[in-house]
């Protein structure tokens, strides 16, 4: 099995899920006491979040690129950025190393296409929902992507940063997300992309009237498939 490098800590709540999923998928594939070969570089999210808010993406890219170089030096043979939002700097991270970066949006688009769907709603941080670095990648993969209205985007973003990234899960927030998903479906979404790795801490398939695509789970599954391939 190839060694998987993880750039995590954004937030550590979802990075912990990545670690669990990688090991569960490896055990399912190989059986017995097998677990994933992986190396984790966990950044301080408080610093990264400030750079996001202030638009200091080049500085954030340097931090993640440095993390990628450290992981490669530690023996990683493929790389994951364990957050949707920070794929805004994926090109800079990939350019910093000689090992492949498994892009989260690509793994997600593959799963949506495999399900036979093409029209999806996207939930995530405001950066992920509103900017082109993620939506554009999905659309380049053949998907039609819709996002909530401005007021709902504010609610979705706030719950991620003020609650989920702190490990806080509230029933009223789950209800708010359910309403957002219902509205996306009413405007034509055939599926919902949970385009922030923390969202999977709050909602799942039972909360949506249409199929959901949990990006952390899909990313981890794709990583194990790649790590176990010839």
**Would you name the residues annotated as active-site residues?**
83, 196
Residues whose CB falls within 8 Å of the CB of residue 14, separated by 6 or more in sequence, listed in order: 82, 83, 197, 198, 200, 201, 216
Measured N-to-C along each axis, helices 150-162 and 171-186 cross at an angle, to the nearest 10 degrees, of 150
| 123, 201 contact by CB (below 8 A) | no
| 79, 19 contact by CB (below 8 A) | no
| 109, 202 contact by CB (below 8 A) | no
What's the half-sphere exposure (Cβ side, CA atoms, 13 Å) at 29? 19
Look up residue 219 and give its two tokens.
């990313």
Give how far the C-alpha of residue 47 lies from the chain's centroid of Cα atoms, to the nearest Å: 19
SS3 146: strand
């Amino acid at each position: 099995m190839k060694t998987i490098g993880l750039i995590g800590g954004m937030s550590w709540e979802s990075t912990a899920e990545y670690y669990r999923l990688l090991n569960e998928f490896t055990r399912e594939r190989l059986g017995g006491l097998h677990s994933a070969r992986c190396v984790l570089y966990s950044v301080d999210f408080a610093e990264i979040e400030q750079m996001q808010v202030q638009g200091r993406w080049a500085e954030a890219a340097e931090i993640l690129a440095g993390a990628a170089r450290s992981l490669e030096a530690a023996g990683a043979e493929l790389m994951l950025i364990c957050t949707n939002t920070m794929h805004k700097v994926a090109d800079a991270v990939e350019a910093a190393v000689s090992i492949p970066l498994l892009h989260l949006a690509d793994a997600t688009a593959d799963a949506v296409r495999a399900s036979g769907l093409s029209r999806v709603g996207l939930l995530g941080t405001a950066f992920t929902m509103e900017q082109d670095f993620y939506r554009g990648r999905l659309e380049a993969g053949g998907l039609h992507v819709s996002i909530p209205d401005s007021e709902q985007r504010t609610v979705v973003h706030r719950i991620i940063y003020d609650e989920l990234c702190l490990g806080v899960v509230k029933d009223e927030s789950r209800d708010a997300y359910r309403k957002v998903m219902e509205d996306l479906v009413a405007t034509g979404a055939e599926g919902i992309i949970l385009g922030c790795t923390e969202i999977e801490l709050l909602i799942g398939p039972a909360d949506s009237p249409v199929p959901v695509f949990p990006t952390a789970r899909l990313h981890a599954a794709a990583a194990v498939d790649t790590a176990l391939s010839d």
